[in-house]
Structure 1
Amino acid sequence: MPYRLRTDRLRAVARQKGDKTGYAIAQRTGLAESTISRLLRGKTQPGAKALLRICTVYGATTEDLMEFLEPAA
């Protein structure tokens, strides 16, 4: 099933921890800043490992951060 990261929700949970920039998110999660940048701009979607890392660090669930899309007809 296709999915996409809800960047608005990622930014919201990050802000709750004081992370207002992509750099701050990268530092806290341990993911590359370029990866976070691409995620926040919607250029790529997180793999399972990256998604779980983000969820763990920010205390979110995959359902909090992901939107599952209907398959194209």
Structure 2
Amino acid sequence: MYRLNVTRLRAIAAQHGDKTPYSVATTTGIAVSSAYRIFREESQLDLISALRIADAYDLDIRTLMDRVPDEEEQTAEAVA
């Protein structure tokens, strides 16, 4: 499973002059309401939004994401 690294997104956006969720939304084309929810860590990116952000900031999409174990992996490790 992958999860957006919001801290990394904030830093990358700031390097491009986008310091608010509104400016990130304007630059990337994602919905303003989505940008605010993402920055408050109330929701995760959908694939289209992740691709828009990666494209706008000329990034590999994996730059924005961190791999985190999902529940099935954690359960399998606990049983083993």
TM over 0.5: yes
Corresponding residue for residue 20 of structure 1? 19
- Give secondary structure in 2 for the equivalent of 1:10: helix
Corresponding residue for residue 31 of structure 1? 30
Could you tell me the percent identity over the aligned residues?
A: 39
Q: Which runs of 5+ in 1 are unaligned?
A: none
The structure with the largest helix share of the pair is 2
Structure number with the bigger relative contact order (C-alpha 8 A, sep ≥ 6) is 1
Count of aligned pairs between the two proteins = 72
TM-score after normalising by structure 2 = 0.83
Distance in structure 1 (CA, Å) of the matches to 2:51 and 2:58? 10
Give 1:63 deviation, angstroms: 1.6
Q: Which runs of 5+ in 2 are unaligned?
A: 76-80
Give 1:15 deviation, angstroms: 0.7
Q: Deviations over 1:10-54 (max 9, x none)?
A: 111101110111110011111111100111111111111110000
Distance in structure 2 (CA, Å) of the matches to 1:8 and 1:61? 16
What's the RMSD between the two structures over aligned residues?
A: 1.0
- Give secondary structure in 2 for the equivalent of 1:70: coil
- State the one-letter code of the partner of 1:39: I
Rg bigger for which structure?
2
Q: Does 2:31 align with 1:51?
A: no
TM-score after normalising by structure 1 = 0.90
- Give secondary structure in 2 for the equivalent of 1:4: strand
